[in-house]
């Protein structure tokens, strides 16, 4: 069946604005934002880990974020390690952390009063005491990352599973792109150790994708302008304290001579004026051999 006439569009086909169809932030945009957040996290980890280590704050350095897949991360952590999987409140995504098992066992030895040495040879699995130490490190790690990612609420990030075998956790698919942060912790007189945190790229946009745009938006004023705010707060205004305000007859004023003493009453409440407006009252006194006014009332 053929139409009686050719079909012609009555109006042009709609075209979406480029801003509406633009894809999410790219890796080139997200990784620098993550790098800035990791610097803040490294600084805050110093104090948080000091409580855990029971000594001076360690040095915490974080390298540049890396774009890796799961197999790459596993290759960076050879041998036994403590792997932890975290859930993010309000999101279906997961974070992954890794700590060298030797570092965990050294911390356990110190917690029990030892010199901080790991057993040799290393065990095939982490003992229960090591798992308790891992849980404490997880809490520190989760709290500090939640702070730099501006996540609010009770336990915005919490560990849900841990294992010394990464395959048991099955956190991501083999081809999932992950942004990986590596933190190096160094204490005086001790061997350094590392913690790694993996964040799926799909979650990076939720954490840091709007940060740069938000910083370019003009700040919304949350309260009316205050005289204490700039530039008004630094504006100098002459303030006068009126000690004497007395009326004299014209005949007395015309007969004034040098050395003459005038008896004038000083009020108990001295007004302080800005221009012609009284802003406060006070009483006269002295501080460090200087006349002073103690405010007793604000107008």
On whether both 201 and 243 belong to a single domain, the answer is: no
18 belongs to a structural domain: no
54 lies in the same domain as 173: yes
* pLDDT winner (highest mean) among 73-87, 219-233, 279-293: 73-87
> Would 16 be classed as within a structural domain?
no
Residues 183 and 277 in one domain: no
* One domain for residues 171 and 288: no
**Residue 19 covered by a domain:** no
What is the value of pTM for the model shown? 0.61
Question: Which one of 115-119, 240-244, 273-277 scores highest in mean pLDDT?
Answer: 115-119
Total domain count for the chain?
2
Is the same domain home to 165 and 285? Answer: no
Tell me which of 13-17, 132-136, 187-191, 200-204 is least confident.
Answer: 13-17
Residue-wise pLDDT tens digits, 19-78: 444 455 566 778 888 899 999 999 999 988 888 887 788 999 999 999 999 999 989 887
Domain identity same for 30 and 111: yes
Q: Is the pLDDT of residue 124 over 90?
A: no
* pLDDT-wise least confident of 59-68, 100-109, 223-232: 223-232
Q: What is the pLDDT of residue 280?
A: 84
**Residue 78 domain-assigned?**
yes
Give the domain range for residue 245.
237-254+262-298
165-209 pLDDT, tens digit each: 898 888 898 889 999 999 999 988 888 999 999 999 888 888 876
Same domain, yes or no, for 196 and 292?
no
Residue 9 lies in a domain: no
CATH at 80: 3.40.1550.10
Domain membership of residue 17 (yes or no) is no
CATH number of the CATH domain containing 282 = 2.30.330.10
Angle, helices 128-148/101-111, rounded to nearest 10 degrees = 110
224 in a structural domain: no
């Amino acid at each position: 069946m053929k139409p009686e006439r050719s079909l012609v569009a009555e109006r042009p086909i709609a075209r979406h604005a480029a801003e509406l169809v633009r894809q999410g932030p790219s890796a080139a945009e997200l990784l620098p934002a993550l790098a800035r957040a990791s610097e803040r996290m490294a600084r805050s980890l110093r104090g948080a880990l000091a409580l855990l280590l029971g000594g001076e704050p360690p040095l915490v350095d974080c390298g540049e974020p890396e774009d890796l897949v799961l197999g790459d991360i596993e290759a960076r952590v050879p041998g036994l390690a403590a792997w932890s999987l975290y859930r993010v409140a309000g999101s279906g995504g997961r974070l992954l952390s890794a700590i060298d098992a030797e570092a965990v066992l050294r911390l356990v030895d110190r917690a029990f009063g030892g010199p901080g040495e790991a057993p040799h040879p290393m065990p095939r699995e982490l003992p229960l005491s090591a798992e308790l130490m891992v849980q404490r490190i997880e809490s520190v790690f989760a709290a500090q990352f939640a702070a730099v990612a501006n996540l609010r609420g009770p336990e915005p990030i919490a560990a849900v599973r841990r294992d010394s075998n990464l395959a048991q956790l099955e956190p991501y698919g083999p081809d999932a792109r992950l942004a990986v942060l590596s933190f190096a912790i160094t204490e005086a007189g001790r061997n350094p150790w590392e913690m790694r945190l993996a964040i799926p790229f799909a979650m990076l946009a939720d954490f840091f994708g709007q940060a740069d745009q938000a910083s370019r938006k003009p700040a919304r004023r949350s309260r009316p302008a205050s005289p204490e705010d700039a530039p008004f707060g630094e504006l100098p205004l002459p303030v006068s304290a009126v000690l004497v305000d007395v009326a004299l007859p014209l005949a007395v004023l015309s007969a004034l001579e040098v050395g003459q003493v005038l008896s004038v009453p000083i009020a108990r409440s001295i007004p302080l004026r800005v221009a012609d407006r009284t802003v406060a009252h006070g009483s006269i006194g002295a501080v460090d051999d200087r006349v002073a006014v103690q405010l007793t009332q604000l107008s």
